[in-house]
Amino acid sequence: MQNTPDWIRADVGIGSILSVNLEHHEKGWRYSHSARNHGRRTSAFVLVLGGAATYRMGRKDFRAEQNDLLFLRKGMVYDSRVTEDCVYTILVVTFNFLSEEEARRLPLVWKIPLRPGGRIIELFTELREIWARGSFFYRLGARAILQQIVYELSVQSLRRIMNSDQASKILPSIEYMEQHYSRPLRLPELARQSSFSPSHFRRLFVEAFGMPPMDYLNYIRIEHAKNLIASRSYPLREVAERTGFGSPQYFSRIFRKITGVSPSRYTGD
């Protein structure tokens, strides 16, 4: 398909499932992954079965409630807590991808509202049951189900974009970002690739991806910056230039905002 963005071709595999736990937390419970410890050590899906909790990412608070699915990527920095008089019941699946680089291409936002009784919830129920039985090849079966969940979620994300003729037109802008992220792109230039006004383009983009287009662009840039830093071949000033940031100071601020650590502290391990 012409103008297909890079993430549609992502070849994402589940490496291993580490745990599948049903957890119950009452008011006062708190759990965090700090920047000091480089965020989460593994990826996780958290399916909210009851109650509610508050998740803080950066300076923003988000409410997670029943039928929300949280996709917590490896390296994510956040704080979670139960502040209401309720029992926060969650199914937590921790796992590793075969390739974190491929996984970063998944078009998944971190909070995904699910339809009650829908296919994704059914798959999580199957995953929990096969893990609990612990019968022959249960890990293989659980991994196959989790792979199906990732596939279903990715397809749903794509459908949100392709459901209308207008929404499908933002795909050229996404490809343009991926090809020209090293340039100082601006919103009007991105909107022109899809033949929309900047305001209309921004609205469609937020509806499809859950974030503004310039935030999405920064995520692309930071992923490339991580690879350059991990190669240990470039000073940070050159990394900032090669990834489209106007200044090392701005690059450092966005890097810390997205990863939770400064570029100088990031190792890529």
Residue 210 confidence class, pLDDT cut points 50, 70, 90: low
CATH architecture type of domain 166-265: Orthogonal Bundle (1.10)
Domains of the chain, residue spans:
6-161, 166-265
Output the pLDDT for position 19.
96
Helix, strand, coil percentages in the chain from 3-state DSSP, rounded to 5 = 45, 20, 30
Output the pLDDT for position 260.
76
Q: Does the structure show a pLDDT above 90 at 12? A: no
CB-CB contact of 225 with 259 (8 Å) = no
The candidate with the shortest Cα–Cα distance to 225, out of 128, 70, 104, is: 104
Residues in the chain: 269
pLDDT in tens, 16-38: 999 999 999 999 999 998 877 77
Q: Does the structure show a pLDDT above 60 at 257? A: yes
Output the pLDDT for position 240.
94
pLDDT in tens, 42-51: 999 999 999 9
Neighbours of 265 (CB within 10 A): 14
Distance CA 30, CA 32 (A): 7
Residue 4 confidence class, pLDDT cut points 50, 70, 90: very low
Instruction: Tell me the residue ranges of DSSP E strands in the chain.
Output: 14-25, 30-33, 43-50, 52-57, 60-65, 68-72, 78-81, 88-97, 111-113
Average pLDDT, the chain: 86
Supply the DSSP string of 208-220, one letter for each residue: HHSS-HHHHHHHH
pLDDT in tens, 146-156: 999 998 888 77
pLDDT in tens, 78-119: 999 999 999 999 999 999 998 877 787 777 778 899 999 999
pLDDT in tens, 213-243: 998 899 889 888 888 887 788 999 999 999 9
Q: What are phi and psi of 105, to 5 degrees?
A: -85, -10
Distance CA 193, CA 212 (A): 16
> For 6-161, which CATH superfamily applies?
Regulatory protein AraC (2.60.120.280)
Distance CA 77, CA 175 (A): 28
Place of tokens 């009851």: 50
The answer for residues whose C-beta is within 8 angstroms of residue 153's C-beta and 6 or more apart is 69, 71, 108, 112, 120
